[in-house]
Amino acid sequence: MTTQVTRPEWYRAIARYQKPDLRKAIWQLVSTFVPYFGLWALMVWLLRSGTSYWLVLPLIVLAAGFLVRIFIFFHDSCHGSFFASRRANRILGYVSGILAFTPYEYWRRSHAGHHATAGDLDRRGGGDVWTMTVEEYRAAVWWKRVAYRTMRNPVVLFVLGPFFVFIVGQRFSQRGMPRRERNSVIVTNLALLAIAVAASLTIGLRTYLIIQLPVMLIAGSIGLWLFYVQHQFEGVYWKRNERWDPVEAALEGSSYYRLPKVLQWFSGNIGLHHIHHLRARIPNYNLQRCYDEMVPLHVRPLTLRTSLKSMWLNLYDEERGKLVGFRALRRQPEPSPLP
């Protein structure tokens, strides 16, 4: 059980940024969905007109960027923050979730668990990236070490990972999953099947797949990287449950990923992740204004260059209070077995 949390005086002031803005929300939908589907129409026309796939590839990358932004709308709807209406959020969640191959109810519950436990060493495993401590890794059997090293390999995590997470993993419900979440998996799968059937009868299944799969996998790679770097960076906050503080976990355990403006737009301001974890009900279109007006939220940012180091931070060293790479194990002696 966690100790009682004392929140700073400025914490209440952030609540005013939680109010949804229908005008901003509608504009975000129009400025994202219209070009996304427009790109789809253009790519289909180009391919069916005999245009080289290599010339279409830049449009695929651009469409993937728009799909990342659509996923942010899905993410906001899961928090009930994009619209004031609960029903509108649910509709947007299902529609954008289908486009992103992600069941709404299933992901919403999993992500809520992530927010409740981020930075808590005793409650890892709820919708986060598998992270072991140095001591846990040393004590693990050989096959678990191999599995962990394999999973943390950047190629596996960011190239193969999107296929297994979005294309395969989210097609199945889990044992013990509540009925509503199981139904969301079924509804999403049926919708994806209907889209594939409709595509095969109109533009052709091959055309659909050579557009949809790379768009989904590129967007998935970007999404996994954003999720990863938001909680796996130098100086990140991790504490045992009895010392875990949700405000500190938000400000120090979630990054401010300062991206160039165009990338910040495509990623829906999710780089301001420390604010999002502090107040998850703030819609993405209010995060920048919140940051600009609230000085206590001006934490040290990650940049594109400094964030690359995160790929090689694989284990949490409790003694040193920091993430370290596998190379750090070579400089530390193995613990002696008990007599």
Q: Please provide residue 272's backbone torsions phi and psi, each rounded to the nearest 5 degrees.
A: -80, 55
Q: Interior CA angle at 73 toward 193 and 269, to 5°?
A: 140
Q: What angle do CA 151, 234, 137 make, to 5 degrees?
A: 40
pTM of the predicted protein model: 0.92
pLDDT digits (tens, 9 = 90+) for 267-303: 999 999 999 999 999 999 999 999 999 999 999 999 9
| Beta strands, E only, 7-48 | none
pLDDT in tens, 293-325: 999 999 999 999 999 999 999 999 999 999 999
The domain ranges of the chain are 9-331
pLDDT in tens, 71-95: 999 999 999 999 999 999 999 999 9
The label of the residue with tokens 């290599």 reads: 54
